[in-house]
Structure 1
């Protein structure tokens, strides 16, 4: 039986403009098994998980669970959980971290401020390697487990100290999928060699555009537009480009991408449907997921 990832790969479905839109991420360490809806289907207290979902709703904060790669027996909760909160906007990217014994304390966070990129001195600054989050939640989609877990294990065996498994970053059909912080670029059809290049670049403040799905700070048309400008100019500095404006509505969007040096471009993006139909996730009916096609990049200055 064909998987959703196999179908997407064989149909050469474009990756640009397919990342989740979430400027800020709250990551909670939770070892052990995960259910399809991990915040309420893991060893995390489901009442706390539901409350976190409600607290984050409408704030531009996405909450996910993480765990270290390896075997995940049905074990007791850890005495202390590693927590990260990260913001991904260009020029204002940061990661803060702490260890908590009770995740219910996270409900005291100012989610609106975090979503807007203001940490207010929360916890400690994270100074380690870029975080490499590999989606491995097989209860949500089998491709994530079959393809993601071996990748996470290989990266860890190679000495990756910032590698974590994550519950869900969207795009099962692009498995194995990767999300890199602090800059917030997502990748699909990742390989160990490719991820190592991505992480080496991120350490130096740069972005690799091969197999890149987009930056989560932007909506999907803007993700595709920013990557198109990078392809045109060869710009790799993660903070060099920002999205100044997005106008229009589906299926046509005009995105203004600005460079830190004063240049700017108007990018025309058309939203279409991927054909022929394919499963967006294993076990689901065939569908035609949205795709973002860049039809013009016009220099403005």
Structure 2
């Protein structure tokens, strides 16, 4: 995946190594690092963004609305930088009510006179299964380019966003921190909620258009943000290897207990269940970006998935 392990041999290089270079050198698996969210609110905010967009006036105003609903704020670069603040776009991806996950509902509005009022209206519409004037089907590809949060995303993510800007069938947007900067460049596909790492423009196209068998992109998969917990995300990866892209289209539910994970959905009037043993695997030393590895530094744990089988 690019950087060779030899890059880490020099003490001088080690003191300045980027986290994404270290991850590539260690062939660190990204699966299970997607996080879990019931929704995302995309708000157009001009650059530069602070390290934490939650500390912006927009973030502070929206926190009481979003935190209880487990919705995440994502700043995105305005589509029209010259547009006045009230004309900037707001997109909500919100998990529909009911069990199972096969994608968020996408709604769209404008900031208008009050960003808080606009987001509240979008959330209210999303909670009602009836059609809404805000419904706006479409695909958003969010590429993390948040350089003030992590230099790897600032360098690699910004380059990816430029090179992948014209991917057919999706709107590619530069966004704030998505997590997983050690796998930079990273991107998130909404409404399907799939997160990816070690990306390049070809990967973005393959994922959006599903042009290749899932197995060809499996090593880039971080997991689905609509599934709870890294263990279930790790199991889903193995099921995707066997079932293919169509799995992302069915409402699926995952659970984890002890070391046992399962993933289930309805198919032809019956419940399909896949299960596996999922345990913590290799722990890879992973200090902060541009800092040397130390004995008491941080680490990243991979997930070992074994005994995968279909129960029903």
TM-score interval, smaller chain: 0.7 to 0.9
Paired with 2:49 and 2:169, the residues of 1 have a C-alpha distance of 23
| Deviations 1:276-298 (CA, angstroms, capped at 9, x unpaired) | x1225444873112322212212
Are positions 1:242 and 2:252 aligned together?
Answer: yes
Find the partner of 2:190 among 173, 181, 194. Answer: 181
Deviation digits for residues 83-102 of structure 1 (CA, Å, limit 9, x no counterpart)? 11113563453211112233
CA pair 3-125 structure 1, distance change in 2 beyond 3 A: same
Which protein shows a greater Rg? 2
SS for the counterpart of 2:274 is strand
Equivalenced residue count is: 281
Quote the residue 2:18 is aligned against.
3
The verdict on how the C-alpha distance between 1:255 and 1:113 changes in structure 2, with shifts beyond 3 A counting, is: farther
1:125-274 alignment to 2 at 5 Å?
Answer: 125-128=135-138, 130-157=139-166, 162-201=171-210, 209-218=218-227, 219-240=229-250, 242-248=252-258, 252=259, 254-261=260-267, 262-272=271-281, 274=283
Q: Which whole-Å CA distance do the structure 2 matches of 1:18 and 1:214 have between them? A: 7
Q: Does 1:78 align with 2:90?
A: no
Instruction: Tell me the distance in 2 between the aligned counterparts of 1:121 and 1:238.
Output: 23
TM-score, with length taken from structure 1 = 0.82
CA displacement, residues 37-77 of structure 1 (integer Å, 9 cap, x when unaligned): 12324xxxx2x42132233223221111111589x8xx896
Higher share of residues assigned helix: 2
Aligned to 2:286: 278
Q: Please, which moves more after superposition, 238-247 or 216-225?
A: 238-247
Q: TM-score, normalised by structure 2?
A: 0.79
1:294 aligns with 2:305: yes
- What is the DSSP-based 3-state SS (H/G/I as helix, E as strand, rest coil) of the residue aligned with 2:249? coil
RMSD of aligned alpha carbons: 3.0
1:236 is paired with a residue of what secondary structure?
A: helix
